[in-house]
Amino acid sequence: MKIVYDPSHIFHKPTKEIDNGRFIENPEKPERIDSIKDALILSGFDNLTPPNKFPMSYIYMVHDESYVEWLKNKSSSLSDQDEYLMEVFGFDRCFDTGTPVKKNTFEASKKAVDVVLTAASFVDSSTNTVYALTRPPGHHATMDLCGGYCYFNNAAIAAYYFLKRGADRIVILDLDFHHGNGTQQIFYDVDWVYYISIHGDPQVFYPWISGKASEIGNGPGEGFNLNLPLQAGSGWNEYSEALTYALREIKDYYPDLLIISLGFDTHKDDPVGRFSLCDEDYAKIARQIGALKLPVLVVQEGGYNPQANALAATRFFSALE
């Protein structure tokens, strides 16, 4: 399995977020994915490739130019120590208080897109798996807003890359604990991406604004958005039922390829998510996905316990191969 990875993600270091009116430590840290990289290398996954540079035009397929400009200008206006949290929603292009902008945020987010596009370029029609091991994550970023530690929607940009290369049916299976409100929004009105997500019930969990089962898509996109919300504490029994349903839908859609937005914040030891999946459950998930025999691009999203991430990722990729 090819893994696309770039060590410069370590320079993206959000430190704070505002949660319930208090400053808390921002959990989206470099160790989250370096623990995965180290563990996968130890398990024999040593095919690491650095990213190539892609033009900005790929980002503009998903994001408004004015949003991209805002992120770029905001980043470059800051000094080395500054960490900007949103103040005026609608002026600031962000929908929460957990997604700070620092001097290198634009550059780091662009690099994450390069990692994902490079990984996408390695996916071919004979069944294979490519892993974009990157951060910052992407699935909360909408067309014109950052949020949820996300700035550019990496998975959505990859979907447009595949569209340009001739794919006409793509599934994005979102397995992060949180609903991918950005990805849902971007593809809500189209039928060429079927967005399917298993996540914590948004009546209780972030991002609250979307992720209900009643959101099924709009216009030509109706029937091509599937939300499978689960209750707090859900373990393998509940999860596998949702996964089986999702995989049946994927089969029936007959996609050219599968993009997985993979978050390990579904792990029982994750400090942010509230499911209770065990290490071994990730092997079961991967085996079922592997049985689809589709080309797979795995895009890293959340997961905030470095040790749990490492164990879950090792099980997942060992079983998927």
- Summarize as ranges the residues that interact with ligand SP5 (CB under 6 A): 19-20, 98, 137, 140, 148-150, 176, 178, 206, 263, 265, 272, 301-302
Query: What is the chain's percent helix, strand, coil content, to nearest 5?
Result: 35, 20, 45
**Cβ-based nearer residue to ligand SP5, 20 or 214:** 20
**Cβ-based nearer residue to ligand SP5, 21 or 219:** 21
The sign of the CA dihedral 249, 252, 256, 257 is positive
CB 241 within 8 A of CB 154: no
**Cβ-based nearer residue to ligand SP5, 99 or 225:** 99
SS3 call for 279: helix
Q: Does 176 participate in binding Zn ion (rule CB under 5 A)? A: yes
- Catalytic residue check, 140: yes
User: What is the maximal distance between C-alpha atoms in the chain?
Assistant: 51
Instruction: Name which position in 263, 264, 297, 300 contacts Zn ion (CB under 5 A).
Output: 263
Q: Pairing mode, if any, of strands 16-19 and 22-25?
A: antiparallel
Question: Which residue in 9, 63, 140, 199 is the catalytic one?
Answer: 140
| Min CB(33)–ligand SP5 separation in Å | 12
Q: Does 302 participate in binding Zn ion (rule CB under 5 A)? A: yes
CB 299 within 8 A of CB 134: yes
Q: What letter does residue 106 receive in the DSSP assignment?
A: H
| Min CB(272)–Zn ion separation in Å | 7
**Cβ-based nearer residue to Zn ion, 103 or 178:** 178
| Min CB(28)–ligand SP5 separation in Å | 7
| Min CB(139)–Zn ion separation in Å | 8
H helix intervals, the chain = 31-42, 57-60, 65-77, 105-122, 154-164, 181-187, 236-253, 279-290, 306-320
Pick what 277 binds: Zn ion, ligand SP5, none; C-beta below 5 to 8 Å, kind-dependent. none
- What amino acid positions are annotated as catalytic residues? 140
Chain residues binding Zn ion by CB under 5 A are 176-178, 263, 265, 302
